[in-house]
Amino acid sequence: MRKQKLKEPIVDSPGTQLIDVNETGLSTDKPFIISNTVQCPISEMRDSHIIPVFVKDNEPAINHTDFIEVVQEVAKTFYRGETILQPNIRVSHPIKGRIPEARLKQAKDLEESEKTIYYERMAFIMEIPSVVDTVSGNQLTLTIGGVKAYNLDNLYNRKGVDEHFKVFIGFQNKVCTNLCISSDGYVKDLKVKSIDQLMDGILSMVQRYDPVLHLKQMKRMDQSALSEQQFAMLIGRCRMYPYVPKDLKKEIQPLEFVDTQLGSVVRDYYTDESFCREIDGSINLWKVYNLFTGANKSSYIDTFLERADNAYHFTGSLASAIEQKHHNWFLN
């Protein structure tokens, strides 16, 4: 399953190796999220981005660099002795400014040294490539990361109010950089007032996450398949779902993907090199799952992890229905 044993991840060793992916070439050139994001090196973030503050007392918020470094520290501590790659960071929604000396200049005339910037939203992942397994011939590597969106915080208050973070630990499919996330390894809204609380919350998530069970559930997806007719029924029902009456919707497995993403799922059902249909039109649920996680790359940062988790549970509900031969609204 991996180069070192998966259970009891805290082990004594000479030390964790933190690898700079830009130097080693170990990082894929495919982004884990696309949407309206751009890649940002942590060095640029640390050295060049201004730090948001709470307006009433001018105290700094926990910035993106702090968040990433806390996750790094937890990963290095809990997975001591494992190889941990440098973070792959994607940012969106830039907040631009300028230094006082440039206040009278036209925007087009600003020098780079006269501009200020930080990004309202940030997502990042760090791979742990020494923790690996394979599902349906696809290599998966353990991955930890998070999302920070300042629009969820009340920066017009004083320091000491809750700051909001999203964190996860799961696996990345190396074939396509799709992220595989389950609720056991995901905290949708981690509210903290300090870096110490942030570290405690991340460590708690990592401690309760069971990678063996997560892998077992994903391998289960490979054992069930949909016929072409069932897949067509699935997509049709998915497109009907937003308009289902509320009383009926309560009885249905939630689906958080939008119509344009469902269009991507259908397109890739026919064209994706790794996850397309078989010759007879059938497709196993591992491939269906990856069609959804692939479509999720078009999500904005603030909905990305929620939809990744939703794809896992949605596909799992399909697997249960097929295995146990019980009713599933999306298939029947």
Q: Based on the domain organization, do 113 and 254 belong to the same domain?
A: no
> Do the domain assignments include residue 181?
yes
Q: Based on the domain organization, do 198 and 319 belong to the same domain?
A: no
CA distances, 276 to each of 183, 255, 269, 280, 288 (Å): 27, 21, 4, 11, 9
Write down the pLDDT at residue 113: 87
Boundary residue ending a domain (187, 211, 235): 211
H helices present in 276-327, as ranges: 285-295, 301-324
Write down the pLDDT at residue 99: 86
* Look-up of token digits 């791979």: 127
Q: Based on the domain organization, do 57 and 175 belong to the same domain?
A: yes
> Do the domain assignments include residue 216?
no
Strand 53-54 and strand 59-60: the pairing is antiparallel
Write down the pLDDT at residue 103: 86
Q: Based on the domain organization, do 203 and 250 belong to the same domain?
A: no
Q: Based on the domain organization, do 231 and 295 belong to the same domain?
A: yes
Return per-residue pLDDT of the chain as tens, 332 residues: 544 434 444 333 334 454 444 344 334 556 899 888 999 999 999 999 999 999 999 999 999 999 999 999 999 999 999 999 999 999 999 999 988 889 898 998 988 888 999 999 999 999 999 999 999 999 999 999 999 999 999 999 999 899 999 999 999 999 999 999 999 999 999 999 999 999 999 999 999 999 999 999 999 999 999 999 999 999 999 999 999 999 999 999 999 999 999 999 999 999 999 999 999 999 999 999 999 999 999 999 999 999 999 999 999 999 999 999 899 999 98
d(CA 182, CA 109): 48
Q: If you ran DSSP here, which 8-state letter would residue 161 be given?
A: B
pTM of the model: 0.89
Total domains in the chain come to 2
Q: Based on the domain organization, do 43 and 185 belong to the same domain?
A: yes
Q: Based on the domain organization, do 136 and 282 belong to the same domain?
A: no
Write down the pLDDT at residue 28: 54
> Do the domain assignments include residue 22?
yes
* Look-up of token digits 């009278």: 104
Q: Based on the domain organization, do 274 and 150 belong to the same domain?
A: no
Question: Over the range 54-75, which residues count as b (16 or more CB within 10 Å of their CB) and which as e?
Answer: beeeeeebbbbbbbbebbbebb
> Do the domain assignments include residue 240?
yes
* Look-up of token digits 């520290």: 73
Q: Based on the domain organization, do 181 and 73 belong to the same domain?
A: yes
Its domain, for residue 161, covers 17-211
Boundary residue ending a domain (179, 211, 243): 211
Q: Based on the domain organization, do 276 and 167 belong to the same domain?
A: no
